[in-house]
Chains A and B, each alone.
Chain A
Amino acid sequence: MAANVKPVRREAQTFKERLFLPAIIKGLGITFRRIFKKKVTMQFPEERWEVRDEYRGAPVLVKDDENRPKCVACSLCEYVCPPKAIYIVPDEIEDPEHAHVERGPAVFNINMLRCIFCGLCEEACPEEAIFMSKEYALWGATRAELIHDKETLYELGGIRPDPIKKWSNK
């Protein structure tokens, strides 16, 4: 035990330090000046952090620049998702004009209470249909609200221009 105790000799206090009052007055001055300093608080809902491009927020589904869903319901993301947060029911796509082209998801749910924001779904997707957005403020009053369904996911994802244009080429 003795080896752990090391007496630290410090300079004895000067008389001025001993009086305390000068230090107290100085301290009062410092705190008073602080009142008028710029504040660092961020007013959260109105002001938000600018997150970096590589930030992994909520996973979302995107549409291409012709406003068509890209997901083909291959279920790779569902398969790769570590906490099994994704639930997909594949089906024929609703748009009859392109019905021959691909299929699409009838149900696409991501349970945000389970998602660990790992980004594996984005990496696994062969169609570049699912992306990690920058949305970090997720909230809901009930658990059900935090299960993002297809509409929510497309709404959050919006349109992401894509040079491949697989719809027109096929």
Chain B
Amino acid sequence: MGDLLTTLGSGLPLVGAEVTFWWVMGRIGLVLLLVHVLLIVGALMVWAERRVSAWMQDRLGPNRVGPEGLLQPLADLGKFMFKEDVVPKHTSKWMYMLAPAISLVPAMVTFAVIPFTGSYEPIYGADGQPTGEYITQSWQIADLNIGVLYILAIASLGVYGVTLGGWASNSKYSLLGGVRASAQMISYELSLGLAVVPVVLMVSSLRLGDIIAYQADTVWLLFTQPVAFFIFLVASYAETNRLPFDMPESETELVAGYHTEYSSMKFALFFLAEYTHMIVGAALVVTLFCGGWTFFGLEQLGWIMGVLIFAAKTTFFLFAFIWVRWTLPRFRYDQLMALGWAWFLPIALLNIVLTGGALAFDQDWVLYILPVALIAAAVIAAWFKYRRDLDNDVPKLERAPQLVGVAGSGGEER
């Protein structure tokens, strides 16, 4: 068994491997495998979301179908399959059909560059003897040297599905949802991209494998760039349209937002797309800030260990997605925009300038006080804003006038 796994593992395409027929076949097999893993984990996420949210509300959640309700997604799938697939007359057919796929595919494609495990290879000295040092070699479907750019480019394509779905539905709720999605995406894509820049600066490579190798050699970027980590995490919540940023859906105002008019499997695709985005988002956070598939040397046990470490870390961040969703209420739209533009953007920019400056002038000490300095700057800015609002007695600080019911106010006044 062990032998077989090792053979399989070494058969996984590595950098510089010669392009042969079997190499191509191996890649295709890997793609198929990962797509299925993504779909299955996405389905499990639906189950996890329902169970965890139930636990947080002192309930039990679905626990009837299969052990602990694990087969619930299958039952849901059956339900989706046999539901009537309503295509309203007033929609723009092609776009309406296409939108769910457009929102799902980019999420899956992004996963191509994320290293899910890797190997350790000894470095040989000039005399042909191992020097005792190792290089980490990440394994992924495509080892792009511009991995980070690729992710930023592809991941944001997902919003086209949402926006097009909202537009093609030709309904006011859907349209509003779609418009909100695009506005939100623009605001947060910026902070998301800028939060990655300090990481790239420190690693001086856009390849995700290098980022992981850097973190394995030094420390996780989570510790050296906590502010960037926080901004990236929050922005990725906004990117995936999750609470507290689920403006495109906001059930309370927009029925169901962009997928109001969708039913059956088309709705299921949108649903799945959201979860796939979450998985990719969590995997990205893990890769960029938490050392990817490495864990303080534990990964040297073999590539299976790497997969397990990667899965465990990703699971934690997936749990965080659920955790945050069932804790925080939805932001108001202006608050959402203010947070993105007035807070995250300047902090991310400041972070880039300071990190870049420190690296350019070899002032390592700046990097150590950087997180503290950024947090302090943010708090001080918040304090000044708070004082100013108090001085101006901005009514925003108080709640808006409330309608108070008067006994017997059956409209006599009118």
Contacts and interface: CB of A to CB of B under 8 A. Distances in A.
Interface of A: 1-10, 12-13, 15, 18-19, 24, 27-28, 30-32, 34-35, 37-41, 43
Contact of A31 (B60, B326, B382): B326
A7 B60 contact: no
Interface residues of B, number: 30
B414 A1 contact: yes
Contacts of A31: 56, 323, 326-327
A150 to B, nearest CB: 35
A4 B405 contact: yes
A117 B372 CA distance: 70
Given A8-B401, A18-B382, A40-B58, 18 more contacts: A3-B409, A4-B409, A5-B404, A6-B404, A7-B401, A8-B399, A10-B398, A10-B399, A15-B382, A15-B386, A24-B327, A27-B327, A35-B52, A35-B56, A39-B59, A39-B60, A41-B54, A41-B58
Contacts of A24: 327-328
A1 B379 CA distance: 43
Contact of B413 (A4, A9, A19): A4
Contacts, number: 72
B403 interface: yes
Nearest to A32: B323
B377 to A, nearest CB: 14
Interface of B: 52, 54-60, 323-324, 326-328, 379, 382-383, 386, 390, 397-399, 401-406, 409, 413-414
A170 B352 CA distance: 103
A37 to B, nearest CB: 6
Given A37-B58, A41-B60, A27 B405 contact: no
A35 B58 CA distance: 7
A34 B327 CA distance: 11
16 contacts: A4-B406, A4-B413, A5-B401, A5-B403, A6-B404, A8-B402, A10-B399, A15-B386, A18-B382, A24-B328, A28-B327, A34-B58, A35-B56, A37-B58, A39-B58, A40-B58
A168 to B, nearest CB: 51
A10 B398 CA distance: 6
B170 to A, nearest CB: 37
Given A9-B398, A18-B386, A40-B59, A4 B326 contact: no
